Amino acid sequence: MFQAFARIPSYSDWLRETDMTSVYLYERRVLKLLQWGEPARPWRLKTPFHLLNLPYLDKVFPDARFVMTHRDPTEVVLSVASVYADVAANFTDNVDFLYMGELNVHTWTEGMRRAIAFRENGNDHRFYDIHFRAMHQDPIGEVRGLYEWLGEPVTKEFEQNMAIWWQQNAENREPAGHRDPVKFGIDFDEVRSLFAGYLARMGKWTTHTGR
C-alpha cells in the first residue's frame, strides 16, 4: 500500500526487484514474539504481495503451505487499482488514475509469472486452489475440502458457525462498486492476454485432482 501514498515509480521498481529475505526474517521474529507463551498453532497469514516474493518466503518459512484463490484477473486488477486510488486520494487532490492502472497491471502480471514459476519448480503440491465462484456457490464445502487437505477436522460446531457467519455477512454485505476501467486505462482484453499463462492453468489448478 505504500505505493499508493505517492507517485514514485522508482520505489515500485525497487520494491518489485529487491531481495525480501530480511523482511521475512523480521516477520518470523515478530510472529515468534507474538506466539511466545502460547500453545504452538499454525499461523494463517494473507497478503497478495507474497506472489512476487515466494522464493524469499520459502527460504524463511520452508514448511509453508499456500491457499491460492482465483478469479477473473480483469476484476482483480481493476479492484486493486481502485483501492490504490482511494488510498492516494487521502494524500493528493490529483490522483493519477492512469498510473494506478498501469502500476497494478505490471505488478500483478509479474507477480503471477513468478508464482507460476515457483509452482512449476517442484512446489505445486504445496498449493490448494479455490475458485472465487466455487467459494460463493458452496463456501462450507470449499472450506471442508481445504481442511481435509490440511489434515484438520471440521467439527459440526465449526460447520454450523461457518454457516451462520456466511448468512449474516451475506445479508449485510454491500454490493461491490463498479469502477470504469477506461478511467484507469485498463483494457480487459489486453489484461486477459497478459494473464494468458495463468488462465490456461487456472482450470487445472481448481479441479482439486489428486489433492
Mean per-residue pLDDT, 4-11: 94
Question: Residue 116 domain-assigned?
Answer: yes
CATH of the domain at 175: 3.40.50.300
Question: Residue 197 domain-assigned?
Answer: yes
Question: Residue 160 domain-assigned?
Answer: yes
d(CA 72, CA 50): 19
Cell of residue 207, nine digits: 479441479
Cell of residue 163, nine digits: 454457516
d(CA 92, CA 38): 44
pLDDT at 207: 84
Mean per-residue pLDDT, 24-46: 93
Distances (CA, A) of 139 to 75, 95, 101: 20, 37, 31
Number of domains the chain contains: 1
Question: Residue 87 domain-assigned?
Answer: yes
In this predicted model, what pLDDT tens digit does every residue of 38-72 receive, in sequence order? 998 889 999 999 999 999 999 999 999 999 999 99
Question: Residue 144 domain-assigned?
Answer: yes
Mean per-residue pLDDT, 66-89: 94
Residue 152 has pLDDT above 70, yes or no: yes
pLDDT at 178: 66
Show the domain range for 49. Answer: 2-34+44-205
pLDDT at 173: 67
Q: How many CA atoms lie within 13 A of 188 on its CB side?
A: 9
Question: Residue 211 domain-assigned?
Answer: no
Question: Residue 39 domain-assigned?
Answer: no
Question: Residue 91 domain-assigned?
Answer: yes
Mean residue pLDDT across the chain: 92
CA-wise closest residue to 53 among 71, 35, 27, 30: 27
pLDDT at 13: 95
pLDDT at 136: 87
Question: Looking at the DSSP assignment, which residues form a beta bridge with residue 68?
Answer: 129
